[in-house]
Structures are given as structure tokens and as C-alpha cells.
Amino acid sequence: MQLTSALITSLLTRYASDVGVSDTLSARLRETTPSLFSQNDAVINKANELVTLATAAQSRNEQWSLLRESLKVVQNDPSIQPLIISPPTS
């Protein structure tokens, strides 16, 4: 199982900069190995891909656009549970 997870991670890392291949790969992984690559994993992968593209973007506007898109991908997916940070109690 660890080997399979490592292979999936390697594939996603390899194709992270190629949006078309990455989306196709994510869909195929969800179909064939749902216990190893869930819808949640696909959403996080897409958001990570957009953040990676933002770091390579030439202009600030493009960077911010990609970062906003990444945030929307995560916010709009019902499979992602919101992170609620509570202030520390004294």
C-alpha cells in the first residue's frame, strides 16, 4: 500500500505543471483506486497544482488570480471540511 501511495504521489508530482494531464490522471486515479485516491485527494491536488503554477507566474495579477482560483476549488467542494481555528482558552 505504501508503494502504491508513493507511486501516485510521484505521478502527480511529475505531471503537476501539465494541467490537462494532471486533471486526466486525477480522474483516472479516482476511478481505478478510490480507496487510495479519493475525491478529497483530487481537490487538494488541483488546489496544490494552482498554487504551484502561481509560484511560477510572471505577474502579480496572475499569481493572485491563480491563488484565488485555488481557494475557490477548495471552498466549493463539499467533500472538504472547513478548518475552524478556535482561539486558545485560558
pTM of the model: 0.75
Grid coordinates representing 61? Answer: 495579477
pLDDT by residue for the chain (90 residues), tens digit each?
A: 788 888 888 888 887 777 778 888 888 998 998 888 888 888 888 888 899 889 999 999 999 999 999 999 988 888 777 666 677 776
Spatial separation of the C-alpha atoms in residues 5 and 40, rounded to whole Å = 15
**Domain assignments of the chain as residue spans, ordered by start:** 9-75
- The single residue listed with the C-alpha cell 481555528 is 85
